[in-house]
Structure 1
Amino acid sequence: MRRLLAINPWFYLFGLALLAVALAAQQYRLFERAWFTVQEWQHGEQWRERSLWLGDYRVVIEAKPIGDISDVSALTFDPDRHSLFSVTNKPARVIELSLEGDLKRTIDLQGFGDPEAIEYVAPGTYVIADEREQRLVKVRIDDATRVLDAADYQQLSLGIGLNGNKGFEGLAYDAANHRLLVAKERDPVRIFEVLGFPHVDEGKPLALHVNTDPKRDARLFVRDLSSLDFDAATGHLLALSDESRLVIELDAEGKPISTLSLLPGQHGLRRGVPQAEGVASDDAGNLYLISEPNLFYLFRKQGD
């Protein structure tokens, strides 16, 4: 009897350790991620033929500093200018980059509290997301633009589940279906589908719809969302998570089909991406990432 009493505390400690591991696995979505790895291995060949298939990408430019810039957030590709755009919030600016990560110019932002994302939607037209206010602002940018004042442009405030700086973190635009996809960072992770903004045809009345897809969002085995990107060629969505160190490719039904890990040793990375904040793809299938404070990455598919 005494021997049993002496052993029992170890069982309690072992049980607590197992509970801690289970809670950590749940928090970091390790079970879902492990199950996806099995599916990726089983169905990889059929998915590879009709997707971006992120597993085939390798880094070409790694951790290149972007000039005298800090606090970068979000990324979008402009097919007309063949350049990339991002935003910073300290100070609030839009920055334009070359496809090699060189700084081309900066544009001051006025009337924006916490700009966290920018998205190309049409020639010269972009949407900027203000995180804390959950506000979307349609702006125009041309060669002469040096300042953008939010008061001058069309705006939409959603105010869905406001919780400080865990609001809008990423934007993506599906031009064929006029869908603006908006990522809520966390608590909980959500992707909203906004139809009717930006208002493209001024001759027609405004018809605004905001949709959600709980099943798709539940499949996102990530702790947060930092950025989104829509690939028109495949109709697939890329979702970037800083805390999970991962880019996930989702098919048209919202199912994960491939991933790109941002950990050291993966996809040719010598070091892990420290704080991934933006992802974008171009019309040639190249993949671009930026990371705080001002690091630029270019990934290309093997053989391309």
Structure 2
Amino acid sequence: MKPVKPRYSLGFFLPHALRWLVTGSLLVLLGIGVYIGIRFYHVDNQLYLWWASMRPSQTAKAPQSGSLPLQTYWMEIDSRVVAGIDRNLSGLAFNTDTKQLIAVINRPATLLTMDLEGRILHRHKLRHASDVEGVAYLGNNRIALAEEGRGRIVIAQLPKSATADLDLQDATSFALDLGSSKEMTRDNAGFEGLGYDQNHDQLYVAKEHSPRALYRIGGLGDYLKTGHFTMRIENLDHWLEDNDIGTDLSSVDVNVLNGHLLLLSDESQRIVELNQDGAVVNQVELRSMPGSNDGVPQAEGLALGPDGTLYMISEPNLFYRLRPAPLTR
């Protein structure tokens, strides 16, 4: 007797096809979720930080001579709401002439003057500005602004009136090629911080991520004095690659007393101090700082006062003040 060949009906194939369709759809959705998580929310960085926190702790390097005593700092003001701001508080700088703070809101583009308690003193609308994320004080009532959306640095004079707008249409500006402005705007990966060293006439520019980047620009002082603008641009990315800086760069400032650089990482919740050669001389974890409840979520701006006080802001509207602990006798 010849063997009877099995007969397969449409009802037999349908469950198998449906299973493959469901499996394929789930894999596609998983791939999309992984892409979005890495591209826009940097889940890979967060997993790395979690993995690093689970590893056996290593002995931290001792602070080097001339560095700030970051290990003695405490959170004197923790997450104070800045009255009058609902969202988008961004870059921060210390005005060494008025002993006040300068901050920016990226949308709507606004320049703020604040006291050292985090209260708004003056508010200036920034006209012809796009997505302003960083600010640095250059001295003599001049500032530099970082426009993330357009990928440019703008030099402007502070308004003389307490209520006047600041029009940037005809202000001196220059651009750095950090990728397409469309990509930087979409991924929030462009200019994120500015810091100026008045003693050495050096402007530091930090790019947040994808990838992180750090530049040093000389020649601004010559322009402010003579009107002739000759830039000297250095790429300092090797400083980031050679050191455990953090997974992103939210802000940068300079200690004018010795030219040391302070880098703020939001994702890593860390302040790292570099000397003029780019070597780490000190660092501190914000989550472990005395007086801090939960670090500084979405840290955006860092400014160093001449007495060593650190001021910070975070989105949407929070203010922080960090001081060295008083010496005990």
Global fold match (TM > 0.5): yes
Gaps of 5+ in 2: 1-43
* Map of 2:11 onto structure 1: none
The CA distance in 1 between the partners of 2:98 and 2:83, in whole Å, is 20
- In the other structure, the counterpart of 1:255 is 279
SS in 2 for 1:55: helix
* Identity between Structure 1 and Structure 2 (%): 31
SS in 2 for 1:269: coil
Q: Which residue of 2 aligns with 1:156?
A: 174
Match of 2:245?
Answer: 221
1:67 aligns with 2:88: no
Among 90, 112, 116, the residue aligned to 1:99: 116
C-alpha distance in 2 between matches for 1:38 and 1:26: 22
| Structure of larger gyration radius | 2
For the 8 Å contact 1:25–1:31, the answer to whether it is kept is no
Q: In structure 2, what is the equivalent of residue 140 of structure 1? A: 157
Whole-angstrom CA distance in 2 between matches of 1:225 and 1:302: 26
The structural deviation recorded for 1:37 is 5.4
Return the alpha-carbon distance in structure 1 between the equivalents of residues 197 and 75 of structure 2: 26
TM-score between both structures, scaled by the size of structure 2: 0.77
CA offsets 1:71-101 (integer angstroms, 9 cap, x no match): 1111100011111011102211011110111
**Cα RMSD (Å) of the superposition?**
2.4
The AA in structure 2 aligned to 1:72 is: L
For residues 190-209 of structure 1, what are the structure 2 equivalents within 5 Å? 190-197=213-220, 199-202=223-226, 205-209=228-232
Shift, 1:250, TM fit: 1.1
Distance 2:231 2:89 in 1: 30
CA deviations over 1:121-169 (Å, ceiling 9, x no partner) = 1121000000122111111114415211111311111222333230100
* Alignment-derived partner of residue 114 in structure 1: 131
**TM-score, normalization by structure 1:** 0.83
Shift in CA distance, 139/274, structure 1 to aligned 2, threshold 3 Å: same
Matches within 5 A, 1:9-88: 27-28=48-49, 38-40=59-61, 43-44=62-63, 47=64, 49-69=65-85, 70-88=87-105
> Aligned equivalents of 1:127 and 1:35: distance in 2?
43
Residue 26 of structure 1: how far off its partner (Å): 8.6
Work out whether residues 29 and 221 of structure 1, in 8 Å CA contact, stay in contact via their aligned partners in 2. Answer: no
Residue segments in structure 1 that go unaligned for 5+ positions in a row: 1-22
Deviation of 1:61 after TM superposition, in Å, equals 1.0
Quick check: 1:232 aligned with 2:256? yes
Say if 1:260 and 1:267, in contact at 8 Å, map to a contact too.
no
SS at 1:116's partner residue? strand
The letter for the 2-side match of 1:141 is L
Match of 1:277 among 297, 300, 304: 300
Give the Cα separation in 2 of the matches to 1:182 and 1:222. 16
1:110, 1:123 → 2: CA distance? 22
Say if 2:245 and 2:272, in contact at 8 Å, map to a contact too: no
